[in-house]
Amino acid sequence: MDGILNINKPPGPTSFAIVAQLRRLIKEKRIGHGGTLDPLASGVLPLFLGRATRLVEYLHEYPKTYLANITLGIATDTYDAEGRVVATVDVARITREAIIQALSQFEGVITQTPPSYSAIKRHGQPLYALARKGLVLEANPRQVTISRLAIVDFQPPLLTLEIECGTGTYIRSLANDLGRELGVGAHLANLVRTSYGPFCINDAVSPSQMAVAAEQGKVSAFMQPPDVVLASWLAVTLTEEQEKIIGFGQQLSIEAGEAKRLRAYGHDGRLIALLVLDDMAGAWKPSKVFSTCS
């Protein structure tokens, strides 16, 4: 079973718990998710099955869109509603204009420090596990990209933002940093991932729907092809002789204009391999091979 399921994760379970549930339901061990959602977060969670797991890394090249509810005036140690309140400030003076001005500091390529309560590992253990043991460590700052920040609603103290960002961005950190910029503190109250690359929440299916589909043997009805995450790559169709050459790990000479990456298909439409250009040799070499003719 090779393909991608667009799951609508409910708030509560971890992303790994959703993966474990699907493994039990459809009896497929090879399942990986394309981007962790915090337990309280919900929304789009693409699950890659079978050989499609080898394509997870390419999903990370796409932007994600979130709808975030941020409570101004209350800061917590985890930067979300589960944490311990560490500061409370009146937000009566905060205007929509002040928020717009503060948000401008967080657009583009910025340096962001992930929460101390996160899945980032230090000494082989997640930071949240160390924090629960009393060892609260600050994560290393990283560069992230936030391409769009739009105010959807502002009913003090609740601010609703639509956010488009790149991989590695922590919306919890954004909420905390925004509160600090406004001088009142803040935390993330609720988060929904509404899209991730080609996957949208309107097309996502719930775990309960997948359970019914598994009982009826209709999981394939919700399966999307693995190459949906490769839509921006130039596609080429190989001859049977070229398939054999790829199977031996050898390079090919293909005219592909300015392209640097190719998705290669067999004459029957199967995804055969991913090819990358070897500039020195002026030829295409396989970076991943999925299947070839014998």
Cite the active site residues: 38
Give me 191's structure tokens.
Answer: 């988060």
Residue type (1 letter), 249 = G
Distance, in Å, from the CA atom of 260 to the CA atom of 23, rounded to the nearest integer, reads 36
Residue type (1 letter), 288 = K
> How many alpha carbons fall within 13 Å on the CB side of residue 249?
0
Distance, in Å, from the CA atom of 96 to the CA atom of 243, rounded to the nearest integer, reads 59
Distance, in Å, from the CA atom of 207 to the CA atom of 22, rounded to the nearest integer, reads 8
CB contact at 8 A, 139 and 114? yes
Of 282, 220, 293, 281, nearest to 256 by C-alpha is 282
Give me 205's structure tokens.
Answer: 């299916």
Helix ranges restricted to H, the chain:
15-26, 56-59, 96-103, 127-132, 171-182, 207-216, 240-247
Distance, in Å, from the CA atom of 81 to the CA atom of 38, rounded to the nearest integer, reads 12
Distance, in Å, from the CA atom of 18 to the CA atom of 77, rounded to the nearest integer, reads 26
Distance, in Å, from the CA atom of 265 to the CA atom of 243, rounded to the nearest integer, reads 9
**Number of helices and strands in the chain (H, E):** 7, 18
Residue type (1 letter), 160 = T
